[in-house]
Every structure is written in C-alpha cells, then in structure tokens.
Amino acid sequence: MKIGVLGAGQLGRMMAISGYPLNHQFGFSGNSLDEPAALLGHMFALEDNADYIESLVAFADVITYESENTDVDMVKEINKDVVVYPGEKSLFITQHRGREKALFDQLSIPCAPYQMVNSLADLKKAVKDIGLPAILKTATGGYDGKGQFLMRSADQIKEAFESMSGVEFILEGFVNFKRELSLIAVRGLDNDHKYYPLVENTHHNGILRLTIAPAQNINPEVQKTAEHYMQTLLDEMEHVGVLTIELFETENGLVVNEMAPRVHNSGHWSIEGANTSQFENHVRAITGMPLGDTTPIHAFSAMVNIIGKNGPTEIALNMPNAHLHLYDKAKRADRKLGHITITADSQTQLATSIEKLKDFLP
C-alpha cells in the first residue's frame, strides 16, 4: 500500500525503514525538503508545493500522522478521501490534556488531580483545591516538557500564569512517583491487540534520555493492570495503530500521566529488541495486516537518546551489542538527533553497556 504520513520527522523515517520490507511505499508531508524522512519516500513539502497536503492525499491509500498536535479539522477533511489511522477520535482526545484526563476519569483510570484553568482567578482556585506542588501545563501543543511550570509555592501563582502562552491550561497535582514507565500497544483493524512490556523511562529537564526494556522488577499484576487501562482506552477510542501511555509508578500503584496516539520514543528499543518493532506493528495495523509478535528478543534492551549533539557515536559502533540510529537532523540544543539501542542478556551486561555510553547521558 501507499502510506501517507503527515509529518516527515524521525518517527516517519523509522516507519518507512520498517515498512519497505512489507512492500509498502511511503509519502511524507512537511515544511521543507530536508526533513529526516524526506529521502525515504515521496516528499511533499510546502516550500515546493502550496498544495502539498492535497498531493500527499492523492498519493496515499492510507494516511497516518507523527504527532498528536496534527490539526483535527484537516484530518476530518482528509478522511473524506482517504482513511486516516489512528482515527479522529484518538487524535481529538490525545491532543488536549483536559479531554485526555476526562476520558481517564470516565474509564476509572487513575490520574493526577487536575483542573482546567483559563484565568488567573481559575489558577488561584485550582491551587487551593489541588494543593502544591503542582504543574501548570498548556492544554495543547506541549512536548518534551515544554509549556510547563512547576509551582512549589503560592508566591509563584502570578509568575506561573504569566509564563504560559496560549489560552487554555491545566493544573495537575504533582505525583510523587518512584519511577516513570510507559506501555506501548497496538490495535489492528480486526480488533486484535498486542502489548509490549512496560518499560522504564528516565527524563532530564523534561526530555527522555534513557529507556530500559522491560522495566526491571515489575510484578506481573502491574503489567496486567497497565494492559487493562490500555485495552480500555484502545477500545473506547476505537484506536487503530500504536498507542502509548506514560505512567507513574507510585507507592499506591500506577497513575497515568498522558497518552500519545503514535509510536513513541520509549519504544525505539523494539527495533532491535523485540520480535516486531513498534514501527512495523503500526504499519501492519494501519494497512490491515496481522499484528506481529511483541515479545522481547533479549533479557534486556536499553535506549539511549542522542540529544543536542551527536557525541562519540563511534563508541556505539564498536560495541557488538549496540545499534546506532541517527535521524539526519541538524544539531540544536535539546533536539533529538538519534538514539542508540543496547541489547543485553544479563543485568551486568546491561549496566556495563550503559556505562560505556555515559557521554550521551546527563
């Protein structure tokens, strides 16, 4: 099939790399001709063609997207000509933190206490009701921790409010977590579901730096609970494709942070670490192919992000159990330029391999 991707970043790039062996073709849309996926398929770019979205739609048998910030009205229009997966409902809900939390409440999925905020008065009330510390976030458009203000004291209310841009915010109570986890799953057109194991994520300044897969010391009941939340969400949204949920592990069990209707940075390990990668499974799902087995191949995998500068990538090239992925992006502070996957058959090998890549970690 011809798969059209709205976006041409690293996620689209890795989708294409996984989809060609299955005999699919790819087209991408983006602003310029030099985006990370541009050389991996037909590139429809605004700088080249004012009707670039129409051209992508004309090319494609099915459309998918790279970001939950994709315009829903545009997707509605596209859907009249070519089917878009994941569908409008998944996109509409996951691009707005308030809608997402309302759905968690409706489905009895635990999440942080929250209130929507449209004014300084709303924020004062929300701080009173939720308490501090709390995080003020833009309702839409955030990524890599952008558009967030961690409030520790009531003196910061005005500063927090003024730091926000946009119109709608959400105040979330701070969750005292032990670890951050994520769960990636895929739902097919035939309603088949497959789950990857919970993975453990370490962030620095709001940016994911390290994923360990599977997360260590996870009670099977915890995996089951996370899969139950996931299944409820997949079915409620009639989701087709990969869905990711980010979770906090707390003293009182799992608390869901947010979800993404797409392949996720915390699933990049699956390229070498699982029988079928998240990218291939997303491609399989949206093209109506049977889903692939999600079982890990090794006892452990780890994913180290390459952020801001390329760093000593030859270290990874010289490790037998490491795999380098660069996204053909220009260097810029805090930018995701690539990642390295490590596979390991023991905890010791995992630890020594991560240690070798310490220059990439904060």
Q: Which does 186 bind (CB under 5 to 8 A by kind): ligand ATP, Mg ion, none?
A: none
Tell which positions 205-234 bind ligand ATP, by CB under 6 A.
206, 208
Query: How far apart, in Å, are the Cα atoms of 93 and each of 34, 69, 121, 145?
Result: 31, 11, 26, 19
Query: How far apart, in Å, are the Cα atoms of 357 and each of 28, 58, 261, 264?
Result: 33, 44, 30, 22
Q: How far is the CB of 258 from Mg ion (least distance, A)?
A: 5
Helix H or strand E segment including 343 = strand 336-344
Of residues 174, 222, 232, 361, which one binds ligand ATP by CB under 6 A? 174
Q: Which does 227 bind (CB under 5 to 8 A by kind): Mg ion, ligand ATP, none?
A: none
Rounded to the nearest 10 degrees, the angle between the axes of helix 97-106 and helix 220-236 is 110
- What is d(CA 351, CA 362) in angstroms, rounded to the nearest whole number? 16
203 binds ligand ATP (CB under 6 A): yes
Q: Which does 145 bind (CB under 5 to 8 A by kind): Mg ion, ligand ATP, none?
A: ligand ATP
Q: Give whichever of 180 and 249 is closer to ligand ATP, judged by the CB atom.
A: 180
In the shown chain, the binding pattern of residues 129 to 148 toward ligand ATP, with x for contact by CB under 6 A and - for none, equals ------x------xxxxx--
CB 286 within 8 Å of CB 62: yes
Q: Which does 175 bind (CB under 5 to 8 A by kind): Mg ion, ligand ATP, none?
A: ligand ATP
113 binds ligand ATP (CB under 6 A): no
In the shown chain, the binding pattern of residues 238 to 257 toward ligand ATP, with x for contact by CB under 6 A and - for none, equals --------x----------x
Indicate the pairing of strand 241-250 with strand 253-260: antiparallel
- Backbone conformation region of residue 132, classed left if phi is above 0, alpha if psi is from -120 to 50, else beta: beta
Contact residues toward ligand ATP (CB under 6 A) are 112, 135, 142-146, 172, 174-175, 180, 203, 206, 208, 246, 257-258
